[in-house]
Amino acid sequence: MERHIHVLIAQQSSQGSIWPTIGMFALLFGLMYLLFIRPQSKRRREAEQMQRQIGAGDKIVTIGGLYGTVVSTDDESATLEISPGVNARYARQAIARVIERVSQPEEHADEVDQPTDAPASPIEESKKAS
């Protein structure tokens, strides 16, 4: 009889609700998303934006560590001057970062080209008055 009671207790304890287990998996997935997936997606978007905005004159570094100056670009590649007179063509995805931006980003190019009536700085205003 005592043995039969132990078996019944074991069966009852193994038939618990599945909701705590599902909740733990949901919590684990939420943490994985916040700690890994979301930051990686943000870095990827920023890299794609940087690669779209490169233009002639920008000094860049490739993912292989090669320093160069952008001579020209097209939809898929950028031609770099890696040494005076030496040009090489690289995929835009191979550009790791921009060291010095000379070209204007496409989004703000229209704003920069339009003259403004306001002086750029007090120093320039004093130079004009002299």
Question: Which CATH number characterizes residue 39's domain?
Answer: 2.30.30.100
**Is 84 inside any structural domain?**
yes
Q: Where in the sequence is the domain holding 97, given as residue range(s)?
A: 18-105
**Is 10 inside any structural domain?**
no
Number of domains forming the structure of the chain: 1
Determine the pLDDT at residue 3.
61
3-state secondary structure of 69: strand
Determine the pLDDT at residue 13.
53
Q: How many CB atoms lie within 10 A of CB 60?
A: 23
Quickly state the pLDDT bin for 103 (edges 50, 70, 90): confident
Q: Is the pLDDT of residue 98 over 80?
A: yes
Q: Is the pLDDT of residue 73 over 60?
A: yes
| Chain segment 6-65, per-residue pLDDT in tens | 555 555 555 678 999 999 999 999 999 999 999 999 999 999 999 999 999 999 999 999
Spatial strand order of the sheet with 59-62 comes to: 86-91, 77-83, 67-73, 59-62, 95-100
DSSP 76-122: SEEEEEEETTEEEEEEGGGEEEEEE--SPPTTTHHHHHS--SS-S-H
**Is 110 inside any structural domain?**
no
**Is 41 inside any structural domain?**
yes
3-state secondary structure of 71: strand
What is each CA distance from 30 to 19, 34, 35, 38, in whole angstroms? 16, 6, 9, 10
